[in-house]
Chain A
Amino acid sequence: MKSSIQIYKEVESQKTIITSISGSGTKSPEEFLRALDKFGIEWYVTEKGTLMIKYWQIGSEDFVSPERAAIIRSDRPSPEQGDELDWLSKNLPNVRGRYSGQWIAVYSNEIVAAAPDLPDLIGQISGFERPLITFIPAEPVVWTFTYAS
């Protein structure tokens, strides 16, 4: 675990680097992001286009438009949101074993709610932003389609 002095030094170091990048005449958001990568500073862009930088977690609102954010985020999703579909795909056998016949809500790579009825599930997920919702069937699933090999 890092000491508070170590963390303070890291933050101060990052502040200095980011200040120097900001003042170095970078022309576009993509150039700015490449400069952050060059210095090993972790970042992500939210769906609304806010730039978030690790340690600081300072939001720079309107950094890019939502359309441009979607392009940037296709390579680097927000860590707090993750890719719930990827997580579900990789954990499907376990999820089917435990939640068959239920609606589930996945958020931040974990199942945060489950219920046999959708209205019950809806009542459990009001505190989550954009949870992924799907139904885990109890009966056998058709896994191949006419267009799948």
Chain B
Amino acid sequence: MLVKNFEQVVRFYEARQDPSGPSIWLPLVNVTLVTPANSRVSLPLLFDTGASVTTLRADLHPILGLQSWDQGIRVETDTAGGRTVVYRYTYTLEIFGKTIDCPIHLASQLPYHPLFVGLLGRDTVFNEFGFGFWESTHELYLTQSP
């Protein structure tokens, strides 16, 4: 029988409209972005195995040191909402104890959500780790040496 070992636990977070309303649990990850000014900010991202590339909201471009969101490489990509245009960049992320130079897409059509500003996608980032996913316990399991 195949056995996988994980040494870290990444928890889900509760999103609730109001104190008495229904809630959902989201797998969110705090990712540190190293800015061009060499400062560090923490960006909450939704762990999204359906996203091929880590994608941030377009209006985050000032924190990336960009004058506008569409300065990068133009890419047409398919999303759940249909075909859309994003712009590709490369930035340094610190995540789960590793520092990774990672492709990042800026997209103007990501929905607003107060608990995350983008999607943590598979390209480059997922190659570095192994993941296990337990919905019932609201936990993600992670290994740095898959």
Which residues of A are in contact with B by a Cβ distance under 8 Å?
47, 65-71, 74-75, 84-86, 88-90, 92-93, 95-96, 118-119, 122, 125-126, 129-137, 139, 141-144, 146, 148-149
Contact = CB atoms under 8 A, between A and B. Distances in A.
A133 to B, nearest CB: 5
Q: Is the interface of A mostly helix, strand, loop or mixed?
A: mixed
B16 A93 contact: yes
Nearest to A90: B14
A141 B62 contact: no
A84 B42 contact: yes
Given A70-B97, A95-B114, A137-B113, 8 more contacts: A85-B44, A85-B115, A89-B115, A119-B62, A126-B39, A131-B42, A132-B43, A137-B114
Interface string B34-51: 000001111110000000
B9 A136 contact: no
Nearest to B59: A118
Contact of B116 (A68, A134, A142): A134
Interface stretch (B24-32, B71-79, B83-91, B100-108): B24-32
B83 to A, nearest CB: 18
Interface of B: 7-10, 13-19, 24, 26, 28, 30, 32, 39-44, 57, 59-60, 62-63, 80, 94, 96-99, 111-117, 144
A144 B24 CA distance: 7
A44 to B, nearest CB: 15
Contacts, number: 108
Contact of B115 (A92, A133, A142): A92
A132 B13 CA distance: 15
A131 B117 CA distance: 14
Contacts of A47: 94, 97
The 8 closest A-B pairs by CB, nearest first: A70-B97, A137-B112, A132-B42, A74-B8, A89-B13, A67-B97, A118-B62, A148-B24
Contacts of A148: 24, 26
A45 to B, nearest CB: 11
Contacts of B18: 93
A74 B57 CA distance: 27
A118 B115 CA distance: 16
